[in-house]
Amino acid sequence: MTTAKVIGLRGDDAVAYAVKQCNVDCIAAYPITPQTIIVETLSKFVSNGEMNAKYINVESEHSAMSATIGACLAGGRVFTATASQGLALMHEVLYAASGLRCPIVLAVANRALSAPINIHCDHSDVMGSRDSGWVILFAENCQEAYDLTILAFKLAEDEDILLPVMVNLDGFILSHSLERVEVIPDEEVKRWLPPRQAKYKVDPKNPITFGVFSLFDSYFEIKRGQEEAMRMVLKKIPEIYDKFYELSGRQYSNLVKYKMDDAEHVIVVLGSTAGTARHAADRLREGGIKAGVLSLHLFRPFPTKEVQKSLSNTKTVTVMDRAISFGAQGGPLFEDIATALYDTPNRPLIASYIYGLGGRDITSRQIREAVRKSIQAQEEGKKIIRMGFIGVKGGE
């Protein structure tokens, strides 16, 4: 570890800066707000010779992910970025990427889905791709967007893993916000991620058939294999976090725990809202409520055991989802947390709150109100609040 340089970067710039340092061979680029800055910045890097990568201006996100798969199977280190409708258009290709075990890194500047059209932040896009077999990481700030992008390549390309990785950063809130980012010197990142040497690739000397026709006698085992690789992520990611600490001086973990040691009332959240939740927790503590915040860097594979451990001695768990799962019992994060708590000895009250859809602001006060409602329900002997809403007009 050497002295880091501190610069001001927007979240999108931070991702692009990381990609520039990672010996990436091929980028597939297609614009979509609020991700566009990433591909614009990369275009500048490539055109100015600051980065030696092939830059393919594809004609859709569907082709972006497709070209990325091709580039990956050719043996390259590959990157693309998208958001919202773009991720939705990629949907079927995402499954092909994971099924073909392509270690692709994809940045998603999270944005709401149409209709109605909305360009602002929520997590409907990534949650729609939740089951596509990708490792899913969430950044809380621009520094994390930078760090997790670098880390994502290491994770994806680990030979025991070989899975694509999605790095999520909240649209506009992070993608377009200028923050202080410590960047690692180029040569150190390049040493950490030397040019990719792919074990499985399209090589005339060793012809492999990729993307076979697999029927009921083999498909199931191939899918089970992907699940094994997901389990392997949980096993190997601590080691990668530690190696990244050696590189950057920043220690990552699957969960970020804030005042969790003695917390009785916990807010669980993904992405940039964690900071607001911490503010809410501080205020609640001022009022005598032992509040804490649990935020997740790693959403898939879901770090079940750690979540169970963190929440085992709590009274209420308020889960905040920036995505709605229509007709379900709560948001997608809620359902994961609720399932994790099922076999814990002291099940706390668990509450689902949908917030911030289409970029609606979320305030510390609103989060505090949600926690108070959870506490009240728990005191009334309830065990669960299903599909609650925060900050929606016309009744919550």
Partner 1 sequence: MEVKTYFRRATDLPREELFGPGHRLCAGCGPAIAVRLALKAIRKPVIVVNATSCVEVASTPYPYTAWAVPWVHVLFENTAAVASGIVETLDKLVKEGRAEDADVIAIGGDGGTFDIGLQALSGALERGHKFLYICLDNEAYMNTGIQRSGATPRGAETTTSFAGKVIPGKLEYKKDLASIVVAHAVPYVATASIGYWLDYVNKVRRALETDGPSFIHVLTPCQTGWRFDASKTVEIGKLAVETKIFPLYEVINGVYRINVKPKSFKPIEEYLKLQGRFKHLFEPQNRHIIDEIQQQVDARWKRLLVLEEVSQRW
Min dist. Cβ of residue 349 to partner 1 (A): 45
* 255-258 β-sheet, strand order: 255-258, 291-296, 265-270, 316-321, 349-354, 384-389
219-248 and 142-157 helices cross at what angle (nearest 10)?
Answer: 130
**Is the CB of residue 61 less than 8 Å from the CB of residue 28?**
no
Residue 121's alpha-carbon distances to 79, 198, 355, 382, in angstroms, are 22, 36, 11, 32
Residues whose CB is less than 8 angstroms from the CB of residue 317 and which lie 6 or more positions away in sequence, other chains included: 266, 268, 311, 337, 341, 348, 349, 350, 351, 374
Of 159, 160, 203, 361, the residue at the interface with partner 1 (CB under 8 A) is: 203
Task: Say whether residue 49 binds partner 1 (CB under 8 A).
Answer: no
Name the minimum Å distance from CB 63 to partner 1.
4
- 């990729």: which residue's tokens? 210
115 forms part of the interface with partner 1 (CB under 8 A)? no
Comparing CB distances to partner 1, the nearer of 36 and 57 is 57
Q: Does 47 bind partner 1 (CB under 8 A)?
A: no
- Decide: is 251 part of the binding site for partner 1 (CB under 8 A): no
Q: Is the dihedral of CA 179, 180, 182, 183 positive or negative?
A: positive
> Residue 59 or residue 228: which is nearer to partner 1 going by CB?
59
Shortest Å, Cβ 60 to partner 1: 7
Selected binder of partner 1 within 4, 88, 202, 255 (CB under 8 A): 202
Token couple for 168: 């999520």
Phi, psi values for residue 286, rounded to 5°: -60, -30
| Number of residues engaging partner 1 in binding (CB under 8 A) | 47
Map residues 67-96 to x or -, x wherever contact with partner 1 holds by CB under 8 A: xxxxxxxxxx-x-------------xx--x
Alpha carbon 360 to chain centroid distance? 20
Determine, following the binding rule CB under 8 A, whether residue 259 of this chain makes contact with partner 1. no
Which residue, 30 or 302, is less far from partner 1 as judged by CB? 30
Are residues 167 and 173 in contact, defined by beta-carbon separation less than 8 angstroms?
no
For partner 1, which stretch binds (CB under 8 A), given 22-30, 281-289, 309-317, 341-349? 22-30
For partner 1, the closer CB: 211 or 249: 211
**With binding defined as CB under 8 A, does residue 7 bind partner 1?**
no
Contact criterion met (CB below 8 Å) for 300 and 135: yes
Which residue, among 84, 127, 79, has the nearest Cα to 109 in the 3D structure?
Answer: 84
Binding residues for partner 1 (CB under 8 A) = 25-26, 28, 52-54, 56-60, 62-64, 66-76, 78, 92-93, 96, 100, 195, 197, 201-205, 207-215, 218
